Amino acid sequence: MAHITINQYLQQIYEAIDNHEGTFCAELLSFKHPHVANPRLQLASPEEKCQQLLEPPYDEMVAAHLRCTYAVANHDFVEAYKFQTLVVQYPMMTTNTLTHTQSQCSLNSNYYHLVSLSLTSFLRAFQSHKEENWALPVMFAVALDLRIFANSAEQQLQKKSKGQPGEMLEKAAEQLMSCFRVCASDNRAGIEDSKKWGMMFLSNQLFKIYFKISKLHLCKPLIRAIDSSNLKNDYSPAQKVTYKYYVGRKAMFDSDFKPAEEFLSYSFRHCHRSSQKNKRMILIYLLPVKMLLGHMPNHQLLKKYDLMQFADVTKAVSEGNLLLLNEALTKHETFFIRCGIFLILEKLKIITYRNLFKKVYLLLKTHQLPLDAFLVALRMMQVEDVDIDEVQCILANLIYMGHIKGYISHQHQKLVVSKQNPFPPLSSVS
């Protein structure tokens, strides 16, 4: 493949399309395949060659792909800009024209537009395939490249202070949604030939974009579409692991912790045992959810997946040690913020209050607990700016959330707790 000629390459494309060999065709159009490094295929103007061997719209799709390999290989901003102007001439384009200034500022942004053209050309062909889905692997390859190049374009545009944050990724999402609609609306084909087999892959690509640009509300229609699909349990294990991971993360941010635990636990259990990096990434979100539900991770697990940042947090919550919790959150603040879980971990403070106050109850061995005892406990944890009113507020929240069974007697300044199970297990009330 490293020394194949353009005619040989196009012949392989032609035969793959003619024989409906979707997987091989996908390889020939993917930037993960070694052909992209072949100088013989890096042509500035491949249109004539493509038109000689391929029918529309495949000629446009392959020409766009080859122009993209040329731009990547030569780092030529002028040529890349010229290619971008060709892209916006196609009537099926769903993205808007960038300004001349923006187009010259980033090579990667032009790669994105070339891949975008390739996807658009493919979509025209894909829509024409009635009651067949052999081209799904091609869609997977071109859609994946689109998202990756959009992400690279986004980074370079931001370095140049050009364009709006998330602009490239949003445009990529629009194109991917066009593919998703084609797949979701395929109601005529039988199960085996249905384009609906592409829905979960596209959902996962869109999830990655929506999480990147912090527009999680856009995930809801995708989740509804997958949940209502009769194929939802039949997608590949890898796709389901990714899907459950993102749906679990969204549930976590929506404070739906039990569904979040279910989805993230599924992803962790079914993630391939050799994918340590992915398992670690899942745990970063599963651990806070588990802790909020009262299940503390053991030291061995944290050490195995290099997540010792959670060690002191776990210890602090279990012991009701507010001082240690605040220190741990401060110490690893950068890591927790980068992962997007700092505010979730802040919610562990209410669990830590619960465990601290349970110690007060166990020490005093009575169901009528003076509020001053809780005030003393908080001040021992160096919570200095607290008074009896704030103690009552914390206790009221704990009672409302079901973490304490009892009531506050304002007349006697006491917390009166139930004689039976006054501090219910976290898993039963969360």
Mean pLDDT (whole number) for 343-355: 95
Phi, psi of 414 (to 5 degrees): -135, 155
Residue whose tokens read 């009528």: 368
DSSP string for residues in 207-247: HHHHHHTT-GGGHHHHHHHHHT-TTTTTS-HHHHHHHHHHH
* Local structure of residue 197 (DSSP, 8 states): G
Q: What is the pLDDT of residue 156?
A: 73
The residues, ordered by sequence, that sit 6+ positions from 182 with a Cβ below 8 Å of its Cβ are 123, 126, 127, 195
Lowest mean pLDDT segment, chosen from 229-243, 326-340, 382-396, 416-430: 416-430
**Preceding omega of 137 cis (within 30 degrees of 0):** no
Of the candidates 171, 32, 166, 170, the residue with the CA atom closest to the CA atom of residue 95: 171
Q: State yes or no: pLDDT of 137 exceeds 50.
A: yes
* pLDDT, tens digit (0-9, with 9 covering 90-100), for 268-314: 999 999 999 999 999 999 999 999 999 999 999 999 999 999 999 99
- Residues facing residue 370 across a β-bridge: 414
Looking at residue 72, its pLDDT comes to: 76
d(CA 420, CA 40): 80
Task: Spell out the residues 6+ positions from residue 268 whose beta carbon is closer than 8 angstroms to its own.
Answer: 279, 282, 283, 286
Q: Which of 96-100, 320-324, 388-392 has the lowest mean pLDDT?
A: 96-100
Pair of tokens at residue 283: 């745990």
Torsions phi, psi of 294, nearest 5? 90, 10
The encoded tokens of residue 275 equal 């994918």
Token code pair at residue 403: 């973490």
How confident is the model over 197-203, as a mean pLDDT? 96
pLDDT of residue 44: 82
Phi-psi region of 368 (alpha: psi -120 to 50; beta: other; left: phi over 0): beta
Tell me the pTM: 0.85
Is the pLDDT score of 240 beyond 90?
yes
DSSP 330-348: HHTHHHHHHHT-HHHHHTH
pLDDT exceeds cutoff 70 at 263: yes
Q: How far apart are alpha carbons 86 and 385 in whole angstroms?
A: 65
Residue 242 in contact with residue 275, Cβ under 8 Å? no
Residue 94 has a pLDDT of 29
Which pLDDT does position 172 carry in this prediction? 83
Higher pLDDT residue, 73 or 396? 396
Structure tokens at 112: 């994105």
How does residue 15 score in pLDDT terms, banded at 50, 70 and 90?
very high
